[in-house]
Amino acid sequence: MNIAFFSTKKYDQDFFDSTNTDFNHQLTFFETGLNEHTASLTKDFNAVCVFVNDDLNAATIDLLAKNGIQLIALRCAGFNNVDLKAAAEKNIKVVRVPAYSPQAVAEHAVALILTLNRKTHKAYNRVRENNFSLEKLTGFNLYGKTVGVIGTGIIGQCFAKIMLGFGCKVLAYDIKPNEELKSSGVEYVELEKLLKASDIISLHCPLNEHTHHLIDGNAFEKMKDGAMLINTGRGALIDTSAVVEALKSEKLGYLGIDVYEQESGLFFNDLSETVNKDDDFLRLMSFPNVLITGHQGFFTKEALEQIAQVTLQNLTDFENGAALENEVKA
């Protein structure tokens, strides 16, 4: 198949070119994102491969259909950026990578917790300046703390098991409780109870109409004073304005995020020589108890290899008329 890849970096090209030796597709890489303004680039291709910040709304999909695109291949698990109904109406199939080293994202969430708690990022900078003071570096033991996990899909399961290993009490909220986790000691509770009881809350649920701004002003009011909030899922799970207010009032004690509500055009780019005009993001960066990483939770060698392998297999299955194991439908 002749495939147009959008929002690509050098590491995408390296891993996909290496893996494609087993598939022999024709791959063309564009650094630009895919949206209704760049959809003209898809002419003469059979399929497109897109990432988390590409905007496949109804207008974009209409243009893809006019250019003869038959398949949208997401090289990620989330699909909230694709209008599935519009794709179905245009008879364009949508596939994704449902799981690519879920341990990578779960471990990154734990890294955010440990860094925020023990302030290792601040200690690192101090020691480089020959400052060995321990003032204001006090942390807390994870052992015995209550950790709330919102969303216990594959990544949430991995995260919960890691926190059990730390000796934490783990509460979980999901519309479909996982029996294996329950047998491991995880207690499923209602969302309100999880918010009220947890010292640390980690978000691992998908973004949809039910979870958009799941953590809003009302949710913050229910949380423990000084609780820690971690988000490695999707940015819009958290209401940015509400989290800023929670930090200002000191209701929220710590915030660690690898995703951001308005990350499109910001994350995955080197903007070191530009002026950041996102006031909410700048406000978040001003808090000493906030740690932000640029959507790198997935970014391990194992995950990139799996993403390339599954994505190219999805494309081959479509080309051969085989069943699409990883198809996403409206």
* DSSP three-state, residue 81: coil
Distance of CA 114 to the CA centre of its chain: 19
Catalytic residue positions? 234, 263, 295
d(CA 327, CA 88): 12
Q: What share of the chain is helix, strand, coil (3-state, %, to 5)?
A: 40, 15, 45
Closest CA to 142 of 160, 123, 118: 118
Identify the bridge partners of residue 290 per DSSP, sorted by sequence position. 255
Identify the bridge partners of residue 256 per DSSP, sorted by sequence position. 230, 291
* 146-150 sheet: strands from edge to edge: 187-188, 169-173, 146-150, 200-203, 227-231, 252-257, 290-292
End-to-end CA distance of the chain: 25
